């Protein structure tokens, strides 16, 4: 598979911006204020790891008509100048007297009439990436303009991926596929888990990840206790299941799937649970269609597990994926988000084998009109054995 | 150097919590609401890469008297249960109907009287890591209790590191030191910059980083254009200066320093700028003392550069360091934060050689009563040459 070229055509950003603007107008909003790495990358193509520093806020304003305006620290002017965004306003951040608030207020004041409405994401799975005190100062400056929740505007656009985006995520998945194929090189009986985690990240880089924003996993007798703990120096033991999970990044897009391995023989109930997870995933791969809800996917995965004798674990059983490790919707009983063609999703059924012992299986898909297309290479039906 | 043991003693957390509580009482606050990975790790020791997922909010409440309470998604209960925090309240997140708001409101309602005051960080270099709409719902539920800015309470405690914390940062710096010593293995004339960035991360892992949350750098003829762009496939050319910068993480603590390398001979003005940066850093290493302000450090570094004929670049010339890649204060002309013994800081003088051509030099220190102690191994006075 040829690697997709870096970045996107200008037409891709025009399409995204146009779709957001249609959403703004439909919702009666005059402008959209974006503050997070993901939203700003999505609209502008501005890609940097510098977001790791909490020191500076960054803003992009998408007016309901016209071109977006970046209001950013001057340290980012050079890189933002390489994107399609033509209007870039900068200040010398961090500034304890006025960290961009006046510049942003002026920008929004220019673009939005006094009786106008400014949207910014305030809902589930969103965050405001600026100091809360500065947000309050901004809204006071902008009054009588009102700030409202624009979560729907952003999520309905971002959740449907273009083919160019699907290609990026497929390439990130391929990095992880190649890495998982090399796990026998560095994971075996007696190897400490923290060394395995370190090598896992090293090989992800060797196989083409630009950076590795997320790795997780676990190991334990016939299952693991949780999936978010850092690795300890505990050596892999006969009867352990080893799980490795990754959000490797290539060109700003994530993969997010895991693989399980048996260290020697594992307990029969673990093998049965694994078979049930595999079957539940197959069921979802066969039956998911646009128009179903996120809650439907949760139900299908639970039914698939139960039909094979497994007890579904709590929490969500998959989610969206793209410019962040996880995106909405969440496959829970309560999430009524409607699935649409072009959504990139994870199928992540988890089973409770015994108290403190779980097993999680994960694949990445893009939903098409006719059903799911795998972006990850399907896991082997039988748990691979490492000696 | 022996690696410090993982984690901290319970006494360390008791000290931190006690210091925060003294600050709360002095400020007239009844409780502190924390929402970020850094603040929650600081108080509890809860360390996971799971924060990469924006799906779920996490909360820790530190009452002015008594033990902290974690209000977290149930997926984190196992890991939080391994910390010193005894009271852990969970909900099944993400929940589109009530994503922890009721549980958090009840918890704060139990701990804070109706006429009471709840602090949360709202100032420079802080963020509220929860949906803004949920924050508004929370404050409505808590009224007449008031929410106020607790930035000072948190920052005055976190900014002075214990010896155990200094040991962690020193160990992270040692990982980068060993990696920089190996740069000649993977950076040389003709090598593409993106391959160098990838190998840089790989070697950081080999040398003991748990994960690599930040790498940056640049390369260009006699200097680079900026320091936040991702690497391109451009091969290193004779006359380039290569800069590599990292925030590698070990046991939850960051290093943050860079190193410069000459690809063959570089221009004389670049050599002079490098010498000026080195001398300015020496001046700061000799003269910094507790009681000075962040603005004083900026002035000293600028004077040091100018005394050697260099033009200081814009932006800040260093900052705090610890559980995030960058912490307050910022070495700018406006930051009046007073330096205190135990602060871990970066000295990061940058010079403008010509338009679009800069050079940045960085060291990590802990400030002692008698002056700075280096945590990074001092860079060589002469720019190392790679062929």
pLDDT in tens, B264-306: 999 999 999 999 999 999 999 999 999 999 999 999 999 999 9
pLDDT tens digits for range B11-50: 999 999 999 999 999 999 999 999 999 999 999 999 999 9
- Residue A292: its pLDDT value, please? 98
Q: Which residue of A has its CA nearest to B356?
A: A78
CA distance A168 to chain B (A): 16
Q: Is the pLDDT of residue A2 over 80?
A: no
Q: Which residue of A has its CA nearest to B209?
A: A198
Interchain proximity A96–B136, CB inside 8 Å: no
Distance from C-alpha of B83 to C-alpha of B46, rounded to nearest angstrom: 7
pLDDT tens digits for range B113-144: 999 999 999 999 999 999 999 999 999 999 99
Cis peptide before B144 (omega within 30 of 0): yes
Distance from C-alpha of A245 to C-alpha of B69, rounded to nearest angstrom: 30
Which of B194, B211, B228 is opposite residue A75, by nearest beta carbon? B228
Per 3-state DSSP, chain A is made up of helix, strand and coil in percentages (nearest 5) of 35, 25, 40
- Residue A314: its pLDDT value, please? 82
> Length of chain A, please?
387
Interchain proximity B212–A194, CB inside 8 Å: no
Count of A–B CB contacts within 8 Å? 221
Q: Which residue of A has its CA nearest to B148?
A: A133
Interchain proximity B74–A205, CB inside 8 Å: no
Phi (first) and psi of residue B39, to 5 degrees: -65, -40
Share of chain B above pLDDT 70, in %: 100
Residue A304: helix, strand or coil by DSSP? Answer: helix
Distance from C-alpha of B78 to C-alpha of A114, rounded to nearest angstrom: 50
Q: Which residue of A has its CA nearest to B92?
A: A315
pLDDT band at B2 (very low <50, low <70, confident <90, very high): confident
Distance from C-alpha of B32 to C-alpha of B158, rounded to nearest angstrom: 14
CB atoms within 10 A of CB B268: 9
- Chain A residue numbers with beta carbons less than 8 Å from the beta carbon of B35 are none
pLDDT band at B3 (very low <50, low <70, confident <90, very high): confident
Q: Is beta strand A344-347 parallel, antiparallel or unpaired with respect to A318-320?
A: antiparallel
Q: Do the Cβ atoms of B69 and B60 come closer than 8 Å? A: yes
- Chain A residue numbers with beta carbons less than 8 Å from the beta carbon of B126 are 54, 131-132
Distance from C-alpha of A384 to C-alpha of A381, rounded to nearest angstrom: 9
Q: Do the Cβ atoms of B317 and B350 come closer than 8 Å? A: yes
Distance from C-alpha of A129 to C-alpha of A135, rounded to nearest angstrom: 10
Domains identified in chain B and CATH numbers: 10-157 (3.40.350.10), 163-386 (3.90.230.10)
Distance from C-alpha of A21 to C-alpha of A15, rounded to nearest angstrom: 10
- Chain A residue numbers with beta carbons less than 8 Å from the beta carbon of B149 are 132-133
Distance from C-alpha of A224 to C-alpha of A217, rounded to nearest angstrom: 9
Picking from A211, A251, A257, A358 by the largest number of B CB atoms within 10 A of its own CB, the best residue to mutate is A211
Q: Tokens 């049930």 — which residue?
A: A276
End-to-end Cα spacing for chain B: 31
pLDDT band at B307 (very low <50, low <70, confident <90, very high): very high
- Chain B residue numbers with beta carbons less than 8 Å from the beta carbon of A120 are 132
Q: Is the pLDDT of residue A1 over 70?
A: no
CA distance B17 to chain A (A): 23
Q: Which residue of B has its CA nearest to A49?
A: B214
CA distance B194 to chain A (A): 8
Which of A214, A226, A334 is opposite residue B95, by nearest beta carbon? A334
Helices and strands per DSSP (H, E), number in chain A: 11, 19
Give the bridge partners for A290, in sequence order.
Answer: A292
Outline where chain B has alpha helix (H).
10-26, 37-44, 77-80, 101-111, 132-142, 151-158, 163-181, 183-186, 193-206, 268-287, 294-307
Which of A47, A127, A325 is opposite residue B131, by nearest beta carbon? A127
> Length of chain B, please?
387
Distance from C-alpha of B220 to C-alpha of B262, rounded to nearest angstrom: 10
- Chain A residue numbers with beta carbons less than 8 Å from the beta carbon of B135 are 132
Residue B127 neighbours by CB under 8 Å, 6+ apart: A54, A127, A128, A129, A130, A131, A132, B36
| Model confidence, pTM | 0.98
Interchain proximity A202–B206, CB inside 8 Å: yes
pLDDT tens digits for range A277-309: 999 999 999 999 999 999 999 999 999 999 999
Q: Do the Cβ atoms of A56 and A81 come closer than 8 Å? A: no
Interchain proximity A124–B99, CB inside 8 Å: yes
- Chain A residue numbers with beta carbons less than 8 Å from the beta carbon of B214 are 49, 52-53
Interchain proximity A215–B127, CB inside 8 Å: no
Q: Is beta strand B350-354 parallel, antiparallel or unpaired with respect to A59-63?
A: unpaired
Q: Two tokens at B387?
A: 């062929």
CA distance B335 to chain A (A): 7
- Chain B residue numbers with beta carbons less than 8 Å from the beta carbon of A319 are 55
Residue B225 burial class via C-beta count within 10 angstroms: exposed 0-12, middle 13-18, buried 19 and up:
middle
Residue A321: helix, strand or coil by DSSP? Answer: coil
pLDDT band at A387 (very low <50, low <70, confident <90, very high): confident
Which of B201, B209, B315 is opposite residue A92, by nearest beta carbon? B315
Residue A282: helix, strand or coil by DSSP? Answer: helix
Picking from A58, A182, A195, A201 by the largest number of B CB atoms within 10 A of its own CB, the best residue to mutate is A201
Residue A382 burial class via C-beta count within 10 angstroms: exposed 0-12, middle 13-18, buried 19 and up:
exposed
Q: Do the Cβ atoms of A248 and A212 come closer than 8 Å? A: yes
- Residue B1: its pLDDT value, please? 58
Q: Which residue of A has its CA nearest to B100?
A: A124
CA distance A214 to chain B (A): 6
CA distance B212 to chain A (A): 8
CA distance B90 to chain A (A): 12
For residue A347, what is the enclosing H or E element?
Answer: strand A344-347
Q: Is the dihedral of CA A258, A169, A161, A25 positive or negative?
A: positive
Interchain proximity A202–B198, CB inside 8 Å: no
Picking from B34, B45, B53, B313 by the largest number of A CB atoms within 10 A of its own CB, the best residue to mutate is B53
Q: Two tokens at A126?
A: 């969103």
CB atoms within 10 A of CB B28: 11
CA distance B224 to chain A (A): 11
Residue B261 CA from chain centroid, whole number:
24
- Chain B residue numbers with beta carbons less than 8 Å from the beta carbon of A334 are 95-97
CA distance A379 to chain B (A): 23
Cα distances (Å, whole numbers) of residue A25 to A11, A19, A28, A118, B276: 21, 10, 5, 11, 55
CA distance A186 to chain B (A): 13
Residues A22, A26, A27, A30: what is their CA dihedral angle, to the nearest 10 degrees?
Answer: 60
**What is the mean predicted confidence (pLDDT) over A201-214?**
97
Q: Is beta strand B344-347 parallel, antiparallel or unpaired with respect to A211-221?
A: unpaired
Distance from C-alpha of A113 to C-alpha of A326, rounded to nearest angstrom: 36
Interchain proximity B229–A79, CB inside 8 Å: yes
Distance from C-alpha of B204 to C-alpha of A202, rounded to nearest angstrom: 9
A312: DSSP letter = E
Which of B82, B93, B123 is opposite residue A131, by nearest beta carbon? B123
- Residue A3: its pLDDT value, please? 87
- Chain B residue numbers with beta carbons less than 8 Å from the beta carbon of A316 are 55, 94
Share of chain A above pLDDT 70, in %: 100
Q: Which residue of B has its CA nearest to A132?
A: B122
Q: Do the Cβ atoms of B263 and B242 come closer than 8 Å? A: yes
Residue A218 neighbours by CB under 8 Å, 6+ apart: A224, A225, A226, A227, A229, A242, A243
User: At CA A306, angle to CA A310 and CA A159, rounded to 5?
Assistant: 100
Picking from A45, A54, A216, A244 by the largest number of B CB atoms within 10 A of its own CB, the best residue to mutate is A54
Interchain proximity A122–B128, CB inside 8 Å: no
CA distance A348 to chain B (A): 14
Give the bridge partners for A309, in sequence order.
Answer: none
Interchain proximity B49–A215, CB inside 8 Å: yes
Share of chain B above pLDDT 90, in %: 97
Tally the C-alpha atoms within 13 A of residue A368's C-alpha that lie toward its C-beta: 11
Interchain proximity B324–A53, CB inside 8 Å: yes
CB atoms within 10 A of CB B91: 18
Q: Tokens 């160019």 — which residue?
A: A164
Distance from C-alpha of B242 to C-alpha of B237, rounded to nearest angstrom: 10
pLDDT tens digits for range A32-87: 999 999 999 999 999 999 999 999 999 999 999 999 999 999 999 999 999 999 99
**What is the mean predicted confidence (pLDDT) over B72-80?**
96
Per 3-state DSSP, chain B is made up of helix, strand and coil in percentages (nearest 5) of 35, 25, 40
Picking from B5, B78, B155 by the largest number of A CB atoms within 10 A of its own CB, the best residue to mutate is B78
**What is the mean predicted confidence (pLDDT) over B380-384?**
95
CA distance A222 to chain B (A): 18
Which of B48, B97, B99 is opposite residue A229, by nearest beta carbon? B48
Distance from C-alpha of A111 to C-alpha of A120, rounded to nearest angstrom: 15
Q: What is the largest CA-CA distance in chain A?
A: 69
**What is the mean predicted confidence (pLDDT) over A18-27?**
98
CA distance A269 to chain B (A): 22
For residue A372, what is the enclosing H or E element?
Answer: strand A371-374
Distance from C-alpha of A365 to C-alpha of B322, rounded to nearest angstrom: 38
- Residue A145: its pLDDT value, please? 98
For residue B215, what is the enclosing H or E element?
Answer: strand B211-221
Give the bridge partners for A90, in sequence order.
Answer: A72
């Amino acid at each position: 598979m040829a690697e997709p070229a870096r970045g996107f055509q200008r037409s891709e950003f025009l399409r995204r911006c146009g779709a957001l603007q249609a959403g703004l107008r439909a919702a009666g909003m005059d402008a959209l204020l974006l503050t997070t790495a993901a939203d700003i990358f999505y609209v502008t193509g501005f890609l940097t790891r510098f977001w790791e520093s909490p020191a500076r806020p960054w803003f992009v304003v998408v007016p309901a008509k016209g071109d977006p305006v970046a209001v950013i620290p001057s340290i980012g002017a050079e890189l933002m100048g390489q994107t399609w965004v033509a209007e870039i306003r900068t200040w010398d951040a961090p500034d304890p007297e006025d960290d961009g608030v006046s510049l942003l207020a002026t920008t929004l004041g220019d673009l939005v009439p006094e009786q106008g409405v400014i949207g910014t994401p305030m809902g589930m799975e969103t965050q405001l990436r600026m100091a809360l005190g500065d947000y309050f100062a901004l809204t006071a400056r902008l009054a009588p303009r009102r700030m409202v929740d624009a979560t729907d505007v952003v999520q309905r656009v971002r959740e449907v991926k273009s083919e160019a985006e699907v290609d990026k995520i497929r390439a990130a998945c391929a990095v992880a596929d190649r890495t998982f194929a090399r796990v026998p090189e560095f994971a075996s009986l007696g190897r400490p888990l923290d060394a395995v985690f370190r090598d896992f990240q090293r090989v992800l880089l060797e196989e083409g990840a630009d950076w590795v924003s997320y790795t997780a996993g676990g190991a334990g007798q016939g299952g693991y206790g949780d999936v978010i703990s850092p690795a300890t120096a505990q050596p892999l033991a006969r009867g352990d299941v080893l799980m490795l999970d990754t959000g490797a990044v290539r060109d700003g897009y994530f993969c997010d799937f895991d693989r399980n391995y048996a260290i020697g023989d594992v307990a029969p109930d673990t093998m049965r649970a694994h078979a049930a997870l595999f079957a539940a995933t197959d069921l979802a791969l066969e039956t998911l269609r646009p128009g179903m809800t996120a809650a439907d996917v949760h139900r299908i995965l639970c039914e698939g597990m139960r039909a094979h004798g497994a007890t579904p674990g709590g929490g969500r059983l998959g989610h969206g994926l793209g410019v962040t490790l996880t995106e909405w919707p969440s496959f829970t009983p309560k999430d009524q988000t409607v699935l649409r063609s072009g959504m990139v999703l994870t199928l992540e059924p988890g089973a409770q084998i015994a108290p403190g012992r779980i097993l999680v299986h994960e694949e990445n898909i893009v939903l098409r009109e006719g059903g799911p297309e795998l972006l990850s290479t399907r896991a082997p039906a039988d748990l691979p054995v490492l000696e």
